Amino acid sequence: MIKASDATAHLVIAALAGALLWDIVTWIWALPVSSSHALVGGLLGAGLAALGPAGVDWHKVAVVLASLVVSPFLGIGTGFFFMGLSRLIFKRIRLDLDKADGFYRHMQVVSSSWVSFSHGSNDATKVMGIIVIFLAAQHGLDVDEYVTQNGFPIWVVLAAASAMAVGTYLSVRSFRLIRTLGEKITHLHPVNGFSAEAGGALIIQLASFMGLPVSTTHVVTSSVTGTGLASGLGAVSWKVFRAIMLAWVVTLPFCAAAAALFYFVLNLVL
């Protein structure tokens, strides 16, 4: 989206600050939103403020936005599919819901691990990319040239992975977002959880292999909704889903505007 050679410390810091502000606000509201979406908005807003429209690669912006828009619909479809397939399997072998829940409770260890792995393969690499953009800019190089000459810094990988682990732990301790996804969108059994996790992980993993940035939050939330839809429209809390969708729509313009403001303030102060 932004050439590394054009990036400055102010641009990168402003982009991250704009995304961080939105993440904090939506955490307080207990709404699951996309940090990936927020980073894209922050980078776009800071890039426009610093470089103007000519400094933004609009083709890459279009590709990124397309992947962010399409992936939730794929998440709904895969969640619906895996839920239907799971029900078909335990009906064929005449497994009642209680026994099925016991089986899928163990299977969720596998599916949740897959989500965690795919999350790191997609979301963590976005943050690493922004850090490397900053490092490359300090040497007047683009990212490929910097990595060719210096390799990919291991401390960037460790820092991003550690920050994600700590953030996940703190989020679990607060239980705010877990309650929204686990209780408010639809009534979840272990079979729903497995279906949502397997469907979401599949989409995220495919996107990582294709080099496309998608939102883990969007995909998994949509997959949860898809498992509810497998039980009918009435099984989904559309009021909660609408609130989440509204937050998704607001994410990019909010983060872009906040990042642009942060950029102008940094230029005035420093």
pLDDT digits (tens, 9 = 90+) for 180-198: 665 667 777 888 888 888 9
Res 260 pLDDT > 90: yes
Mean pLDDT of the chain: 82
Residues 6+ apart with CB under 8 A from 130: 12, 15, 16, 39, 43
Do 245 and 252 meet the contact criterion of CB atoms below 8 Å apart?
Answer: no
The pLDDT tens digits of the residues spanning 148-183 come to 888 888 998 888 888 888 877 776 656 556 666 656
Domain edges within the chain: 4-269
Could you give the maximum distance between any two Cα atoms of the chain, in Å? Answer: 69
Q: Which residue is it, tokens 């016991």?
A: 102
**pTM of the entire predicted model:** 0.76
What pLDDT does 4 receive? 64
User: How far is residue 46 CA from its own chain's centroid?
Assistant: 20
Most confident of 35-49, 84-98, 209-223: 35-49
**What is the pLDDT at residue 230?**
83
Does residue 242 surpass a pLDDT of 90? no
